[in-house]
Amino acid sequence: MEGGLFLLVVGAGVVAVGRAGETTYLPGAGASEVVTVTRGGTGAAGITVLTEAVAIKETGPKETVDRFGEVYAFAPNFLAVRRDEPTVISFRNLQPDDEHDFMLVDAEGNVLMRVMLPPLQETSYVFTFHREGLFRFYCTMHQPDMSGQILVLAAKRG
Protein backbone atom coordinates (compact mmCIF):
# COMPACT_ATOMS: atom_id res chain seq x y z
CA MET A 1 0.00 0.00 0.00
CA GLU A 2 1.35 3.36 -1.03
CA GLY A 3 0.91 5.64 1.98
CA GLY A 4 -2.28 6.27 3.88
CA LEU A 5 -5.56 7.35 2.47
CA PHE A 6 -7.13 10.74 2.85
CA LEU A 7 -10.64 12.00 2.40
CA LEU A 8 -11.40 15.07 0.39
CA VAL A 9 -14.81 16.62 0.04
CA VAL A 10 -14.82 17.91 -3.51
CA GLY A 11 -18.40 18.71 -4.33
CA ALA A 12 -21.93 18.55 -3.06
CA GLY A 13 -21.83 15.40 -0.99
CA VAL A 14 -18.99 13.90 -2.99
CA VAL A 15 -16.18 12.45 -0.98
CA ALA A 16 -13.10 11.29 -2.81
CA VAL A 17 -10.48 8.98 -1.40
CA GLY A 18 -6.94 9.82 -2.38
CA ARG A 19 -3.46 8.97 -1.22
CA ALA A 20 -1.85 10.92 1.56
CA GLY A 21 1.67 12.22 1.15
CA GLU A 22 1.46 12.41 -2.61
CA THR A 23 0.33 15.64 -4.18
CA THR A 24 0.30 14.46 -7.78
CA TYR A 25 0.24 10.97 -9.24
CA LEU A 26 -0.94 8.97 -12.21
CA PRO A 27 -3.07 5.85 -11.78
CA GLY A 28 -1.21 3.19 -9.79
CA ALA A 29 -1.29 -0.55 -10.41
CA GLY A 30 -4.85 -1.02 -9.15
CA ALA A 31 -6.29 2.04 -10.84
CA SER A 32 -4.62 1.12 -14.13
CA GLU A 33 -7.17 -1.66 -14.50
CA VAL A 34 -9.72 1.14 -14.81
CA VAL A 35 -7.74 3.73 -16.75
CA THR A 36 -4.20 3.93 -18.11
CA VAL A 37 -2.63 7.39 -18.32
CA THR A 38 0.67 8.38 -19.90
CA ARG A 39 2.30 11.77 -20.28
CA GLY A 40 2.66 12.75 -23.94
CA GLY A 41 2.22 10.36 -26.83
CA THR A 42 -0.45 10.10 -29.48
CA GLY A 43 -3.99 8.80 -29.45
CA ALA A 44 -6.76 7.76 -31.80
CA ALA A 45 -8.89 10.67 -30.55
CA GLY A 46 -8.17 14.09 -29.11
CA ILE A 47 -9.97 16.55 -26.88
CA THR A 48 -8.87 20.00 -25.74
CA VAL A 49 -10.11 21.23 -22.38
CA LEU A 50 -9.73 24.90 -21.45
CA THR A 51 -9.70 26.45 -18.03
CA GLU A 52 -12.08 29.35 -18.19
CA ALA A 53 -12.20 32.33 -15.85
CA VAL A 54 -15.92 32.96 -15.32
CA ALA A 55 -15.63 35.70 -12.69
CA ILE A 56 -12.25 36.80 -11.33
CA LYS A 57 -10.98 39.68 -9.28
CA GLU A 58 -9.06 41.26 -12.18
CA THR A 59 -12.04 41.58 -14.53
CA GLY A 60 -15.10 41.01 -12.34
CA PRO A 61 -18.03 41.24 -12.13
CA LYS A 62 -17.08 42.50 -8.66
CA GLU A 63 -20.50 41.62 -7.20
CA THR A 64 -20.10 38.02 -8.34
CA VAL A 65 -16.60 37.71 -6.92
CA ASP A 66 -17.77 39.26 -3.64
CA ARG A 67 -20.62 36.78 -3.41
CA PHE A 68 -19.02 33.56 -4.72
CA GLY A 69 -15.29 34.19 -4.74
CA GLU A 70 -13.39 33.73 -7.97
CA VAL A 71 -15.24 31.34 -10.27
CA TYR A 72 -13.54 29.12 -12.85
CA ALA A 73 -14.79 26.31 -15.08
CA PHE A 74 -13.49 23.55 -17.29
CA ALA A 75 -14.68 24.07 -20.88
CA PRO A 76 -16.03 21.68 -21.96
CA ASN A 77 -16.92 20.06 -18.66
CA PHE A 78 -18.52 16.97 -20.18
CA LEU A 79 -16.36 14.68 -22.29
CA ALA A 80 -17.21 11.44 -24.05
CA VAL A 81 -14.52 8.90 -24.89
CA ARG A 82 -14.57 5.30 -26.06
CA ARG A 83 -13.37 2.43 -23.95
CA ASP A 84 -9.95 1.10 -25.03
CA GLU A 85 -9.41 4.02 -27.43
CA PRO A 86 -6.30 6.02 -26.47
CA THR A 87 -7.51 9.62 -26.23
CA VAL A 88 -5.24 12.62 -25.85
CA ILE A 89 -6.75 15.16 -23.50
CA SER A 90 -4.90 18.47 -23.68
CA PHE A 91 -5.57 20.87 -20.85
CA ARG A 92 -4.91 24.52 -21.62
CA ASN A 93 -4.62 26.67 -18.56
CA LEU A 94 -5.50 30.09 -19.98
CA GLN A 95 -4.84 31.99 -16.77
CA PRO A 96 -1.46 33.73 -16.46
CA ASP A 97 -1.46 33.65 -12.65
CA ASP A 98 -3.73 30.80 -11.53
CA GLU A 99 -2.79 27.23 -10.97
CA HIS A 100 -5.39 24.51 -11.54
CA ASP A 101 -5.29 20.78 -11.13
CA PHE A 102 -7.10 17.76 -12.53
CA MET A 103 -8.28 15.03 -10.21
CA LEU A 104 -10.04 12.01 -11.74
CA VAL A 105 -12.46 10.04 -9.60
CA ASP A 106 -14.26 6.77 -10.37
CA ALA A 107 -17.92 6.00 -9.73
CA GLU A 108 -17.10 4.68 -6.24
CA GLY A 109 -15.33 7.91 -5.26
CA ASN A 110 -11.78 6.58 -5.53
CA VAL A 111 -9.24 9.13 -6.72
CA LEU A 112 -7.44 7.63 -9.72
CA MET A 113 -4.97 10.43 -10.41
CA ARG A 114 -4.19 14.06 -9.72
CA VAL A 115 -1.95 16.27 -11.85
CA MET A 116 -1.13 19.97 -11.92
CA LEU A 117 -2.17 22.31 -14.73
CA PRO A 118 0.31 25.19 -14.48
CA PRO A 119 -0.52 28.73 -15.67
CA LEU A 120 -0.27 29.42 -19.41
CA GLN A 121 0.66 25.84 -20.23
CA GLU A 122 -0.81 23.04 -22.25
CA THR A 123 -0.58 19.80 -20.31
CA SER A 124 -1.40 16.65 -22.30
CA TYR A 125 -2.02 13.08 -21.23
CA VAL A 126 -3.14 10.02 -23.14
CA PHE A 127 -6.08 8.40 -21.38
CA THR A 128 -7.19 4.85 -22.15
CA PHE A 129 -10.25 3.88 -20.15
CA HIS A 130 -10.79 0.17 -19.68
CA ARG A 131 -14.23 0.42 -18.06
CA GLU A 132 -17.40 2.02 -19.33
CA GLY A 133 -19.36 4.43 -17.23
CA LEU A 134 -19.31 7.88 -15.74
CA PHE A 135 -16.17 9.34 -14.18
CA ARG A 136 -15.93 12.70 -12.47
CA PHE A 137 -13.13 15.21 -12.42
CA TYR A 138 -12.34 18.20 -10.31
CA CYS A 139 -9.95 21.04 -9.85
CA THR A 140 -9.45 20.67 -6.12
CA MET A 141 -8.55 24.36 -5.78
CA HIS A 142 -11.80 25.72 -7.18
CA GLN A 143 -14.73 23.84 -5.76
CA PRO A 144 -17.59 23.40 -6.38
CA ASP A 145 -17.53 25.28 -9.68
CA MET A 146 -14.63 23.68 -11.46
CA SER A 147 -15.88 20.14 -12.01
CA GLY A 148 -16.76 17.87 -14.91
CA GLN A 149 -17.64 14.40 -16.08
CA ILE A 150 -16.18 11.89 -18.52
CA LEU A 151 -18.56 9.36 -20.02
CA VAL A 152 -16.79 6.24 -21.26
CA LEU A 153 -18.79 4.69 -24.07
CA ALA A 154 -18.57 1.15 -25.43
CA ALA A 155 -15.48 0.22 -27.41
CA LYS A 156 -15.50 0.63 -31.17
CA ARG A 157 -16.50 -2.59 -32.90
CA GLY A 158 -14.08 -4.36 -35.16
- Binding residues for Cu ion (CB under 5 A): 72, 100, 139, 141-142, 146
CB 82 within 8 A of CB 114: no
**Using CA of residue 108, residue 110, residue 79, residue 76, what is the dihedral sign?**
positive
Q: Which is nearer to Cu ion, 146 or 152 (CB)?
A: 146
Find the shortest distance in angstroms from Cβ 3 to Cu ion: 24
Query: Rounded distance, CA 71 to CA 108, Å?
Result: 27
Q: Which is nearer to Cu ion, 73 or 152 (CB)?
A: 73
Find the shortest distance in angstroms from Cβ 75 to Cu ion: 12
Amino acid at 63: E
- 3-state SS class at 12: coil
Find the shortest distance in angstroms from Cβ 72 to Cu ion: 5
Q: Which is nearer to Cu ion, 31 or 146 (CB)?
A: 146
Of 131, 147, 99, 121, nearest in space to 30 by CA: 131
Q: Which is nearer to Cu ion, 124 or 147 (CB)?
A: 147
Find the shortest distance in angstroms from Cβ 81 to Cu ion: 22
